[in-house]
Amino acid sequence: MTGIGVVSSIGIGKEKFWTNLIAGKSGISIVELFDTTKYENHKGGEVKDFDPLNFIDKKKIKTLGRGSQFAIAAAKMALEDSKIDFKQLDKDGVAVIIGTTMADAQRIEEMDKDWVELSEKRVDARMVPQYPGSVLASNVGFELDIKGPNRAIPTACSAGNYSIGNAFDLIREGKIDYALAGGADPFSRIAFTGFNRLLAVAPEKCQPFDKNRKGMMVGEGAGILLLELLDNAVKRNANIYAEVLGYALSCDAHHMTAPSVEGIIRVMKKAIEHAGIKTDDVDYISAHGTGTPANDKAECGAVKEVFKDRYKEIPMSSIKSMLGHTMGAASAIEAIACCLAIKEGIVPPTINYETPDPECDIDCVPNKLRKKEVKIALNNSLAFGGNDACLVLGKVF
């Protein structure tokens, strides 16, 4: 991984994101994108300082939903960060793989509102091509004139890891040379309403692993990474953040929303095996850590089973405590956090931690960063429908 681009509620761009992440800054605020008066909860991880004109020509803005704008911005930042001569690349050898939950959901909401309240003739025709979930990847491809494989992966909260894993496979098999991979999701009424109806949203703050945790916070953002062959990165003297050692995907086949301890155990074990490492080699776990009672308990139970007596020795933090749950962008942004933890030797904290929970007695790096050499990190993502993914990242020596 040689390039990083991120849009988040705690910062746009690698530097601001990382500075605020390790400082434990919260990106949770009152939602302003739409009226939340009729909801019981009014906060979320909304990106407040994003200006698409910093990344996209003014004439194109109206044809792009917020999710696509995030994805394009993050992709351009990743390319700039990589310092690669992108104009000279064979664009057929570059893939765009973007994970998402809602894609450009806000534009879909606008279109449906006009259709219902006015008529189909009043629907802006420019919104129609923005309806399919594939638009995030295709819009990045259009903007950057990339002609290689173009895919959107809609596996919700684990979609970012799925996308990175797919890019890893394509590069390793020699089918492409480079990939822009990650995830993006905008804030939407659909997600906000859905999670509130599931009674899964905390009223004030997200408190992963805390005994008194009350739920997750809906967020938004994008995380895109540039992947290339290690030999190629070394040859061009690139700044290498981390190497993808392996990954695993699995389905719990258990329940649409409830997590399965056995499913999480299975995907972590498979990822460790695929990476060719041992449990003793793992220095840090980026937790899925939503802050819901069931999810945190299940993930901790799985970690205890996989790592046995070592489970308390491994730092395991949740950056969702700061960003909220960014849906399809979540595991991609968390992969970025893992890359920077490996590169900088700093583990980000889990903020808002107040009361220990005996059922979640892991080392959650409470409230303050920790300086620690991270040679190998696991990135857990556990989506609705039991779509689990675990990505293994390693330090390049």
For residue 168, what pLDDT band results from cuts at 50, 70 and 90?
A: very high
Which residues are within 8 A (CB) of 173 and not within 5 positions of it... i.e. 6 or more apart? none
- Greatest Cα pair distance, the chain, in angstroms, is 64
Task: Examine the pLDDT at 190 and tell me if it is beyond 90.
Answer: no
Q: What is the pLDDT of residues 211-259, one digit of tens each?
A: 999 999 999 999 999 999 999 999 999 999 999 999 999 998 888 778 8
More confident site: 202 or 117? 202
- What is the pLDDT, as a whole number, of residue 129? 66
- What is the pLDDT, as a whole number, of residue 123? 67
Q: Work out how many domains the chain is built from and give that number.
A: 2
For this structure, is 338 an active site residue?
A: no
CB burial of 14-23 (b: ≥16 within 10 Å; e: otherwise) equals: beebbebbbe
Same domain, 49 and 164: yes
Region of 83 (left: φ > 0; alpha: ψ -120 to 50; beta: rest) is left
Residue of 206, 300, 325, 338 marked catalytic = 325
Same domain, 356 and 268: yes
Q: What is the pLDDT of residues 279-311, one digit of tens each?
A: 999 999 999 999 999 999 999 999 999 999 999
Please classify residue 243 by burial: count the beta carbons closer than 10 Å to its beta carbon, then call 0-12 exposed, 13-18 middle and 19+ buried.
Answer: buried
Residue of 206, 288, 364, 390 marked catalytic = 288
Q: What is the pLDDT of residues 2-37, one digit of tens each?
A: 999 999 999 999 999 999 999 999 999 999 998 999
Domain boundary among 235, 270, 293: 235
Same domain, 323 and 248: yes
Residue of 157, 300, 338, 364 marked catalytic = 157
Work out the number of other CB atoms within 10 angstroms of the CB of residue 293.
Answer: 17
Angle at 217 between CA 355 and CA 384, to 5 degrees: 105
For this structure, is 325 an active site residue?
A: yes
Distances (CA, A) of 292 to 119, 132, 256: 41, 30, 15
Same domain, 115 and 261: no
Name the residue range of residue 134's domain. Answer: 3-235
Residue range 194-204: average pLDDT? 88
- Judge contact between 377 and 246, C-beta under 8 A: no
E strands in 189-229: 221-228
Q: What is the pLDDT of residues 356-396, one digit of tens each?
A: 999 999 999 999 999 999 999 999 999 888 899 999 999 99
Same domain, 23 and 115: yes
Which residues are within 8 A (CB) of 149 and not within 5 positions of it... i.e. 6 or more apart? 95, 96, 97, 170, 175, 176
- Judge contact between 220 and 187, C-beta under 8 A: yes
In angstroms, how far is the first alpha carbon of the chain from the final one? 14
Same domain, 225 and 296: no
Same domain, 102 and 179: yes
Q: Tell me the residue type at 293.
A: P
Residue range 176-187: average pLDDT? 96
Same domain, 316 and 280: yes
Work out the number of other CB atoms within 10 angstroms of the CB of residue 235.
Answer: 9
Same domain, 192 and 274: no
From CA 259, how far away is CA 299, in angstroms rounded?
8
Domain boundary among 235, 258, 279: 235
From CA 106, how far away is CA 217, in angstroms rounded?
18
- Judge contact between 243 and 321, C-beta under 8 A: no
Same domain, 62 and 205: yes
For this structure, is 254 an active site residue?
A: no
What is the 8-class DSSP label of residue 122?
G
More confident site: 104 or 91? 91
Same domain, 192 and 284: no
Same domain, 201 and 269: no
Q: Which CATH number is 331's domain given? A: 3.40.47.10
Please classify residue 93 by burial: count the beta carbons closer than 10 Å to its beta carbon, then call 0-12 exposed, 13-18 middle and 19+ buried.
Answer: middle
Domain boundary among 235, 267, 288: 235
From CA 303, how far away is CA 313, in angstroms rounded?
11
